[in-house]
């Protein structure tokens, strides 16, 4: 039986560090409150003119591919999760594909909010299990700092978000000891309106 396994991970974070103390300029909060509730000490915000959703994803992907010991040309499919694409269309996955020089292979852009990367991983896992592909790039990239409400009204949400990208290379394996065990997708639309209001 063919399974999927993660053989390389990569990340990119922008240079711009925003500490909890920095956030107190915009909202009524404290370093202590944020650390106690979330464990977060700092986050990164993108630099305008340098970082884009696709450029961050490209950097993270190059690292993941390198760590997997693969060439970029070995990648057969990209599954790209984001809710903050550079454009409404084309999706950032296609922009990243161009950056990586992988024109011609399939790209699936998905937007499943916080669970996007898990959904992307699950999609890649299914394609590998069916034998369709053996090397898949799974990416999550977000620029959240442009939409979060940094005033006191939005503090419950704003303190946990930042910008950055992560990538994983999934490869086919016959080794049952080192594999993605299983993935199970669930969602609950009943809370959609609450999230919209926040
Ligand atoms: C961070 C978090 C875990 C803290 O949970 P909590 O400890 O239960 O705290 P609450 O959010 O219920 O807020 C408790 C109090 O702290 C206040 N508070 C909220 N954010 C604050 C902040 N950043 N600094 C100071 N006080 C804050 C609230 O206004 C509330 O005050 P009140 O009791 O006077 O009304 C929670 O706010 C959270 O999950 N936020 C993220 C939600 C989100 O983004 N979800 C989408 C991701 S998919």
The residue whose C-alpha atom lies closest to atom 7 belonging to ligand 1 is 37
CB distance 44 to ligand 1 below 6 Å: no
Tell me the per-residue pLDDT of 18-29, one tens digit each, with 9 for 90 and over: 999 999 999 999
pLDDT of residue 195: 67
CB distance 69 to ligand 1 below 6 Å: no
Residue 59: DSSP 8-state:
H
CA of 52 from ligand 1 middle (Å) equals 29
**Does pLDDT of 188 surpass 90?**
no
Place of tokens 């034998």: 131
CB neighbourhood size of 110 (10 A): 17
CA of 25 from ligand 1 middle (Å) equals 18
Tell me the per-residue pLDDT of 49-61, one tens digit each, with 9 for 90 and over: 999 999 999 999 9
Tell me the per-residue pLDDT of 76-135, one tens digit each, with 9 for 90 and over: 999 999 999 999 999 999 999 999 999 999 999 999 989 999 999 999 999 999 999 999
CB distance 116 to ligand 1 below 6 Å: no
Structure token pair of residue 10: 């990569």
Average pLDDT estimate for 64-78? 98
Residues 6+ away with beta carbon under 8 Å from 162: 13, 18, 43, 44, 45, 144, 145
């Amino acid at each position: 039986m063919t399974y999927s396994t993660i053989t390389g991970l990569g990340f990119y974070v922008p240079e711009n560090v925003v500490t909890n103390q920095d956030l107190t300029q915009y909202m009524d909060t404290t370093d202590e409150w944020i650390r106690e509730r979330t464990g977060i000490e700092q986050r990164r915000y993108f630099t305008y003119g340098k970082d884009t959703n696709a450029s961050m994803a490209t950097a993270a992907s190059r690292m993941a591919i390198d760590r997997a010991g693969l060439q970029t040309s070995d990648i057969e499919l990209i599954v790209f999760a984001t809710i903050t694409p550079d454009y409404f269309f084309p999706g950032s996955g296609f922009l990243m594909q161009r950056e990586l020089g992988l024109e011609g292979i399939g790209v699936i852009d998905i937007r499943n909010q916080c669970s996007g990367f898990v959904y992307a991983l699950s999609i890649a896992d299914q394609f590998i299990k069916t034998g369709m592909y053996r090397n898949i790039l799974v990416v999550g990239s977000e620029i959240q700092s442009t939409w979060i409400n940094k005033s006191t009204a939005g503090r419950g949400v704003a303190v946990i978000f930042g910008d950055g990208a992560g990538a994983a290379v999934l490869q086919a394996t016959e080794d049952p000891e080192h594999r993605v065990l299983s993935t199970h997708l669930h969602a609950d639309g009943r809370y959609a309106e609450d999230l919209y209001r926040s």
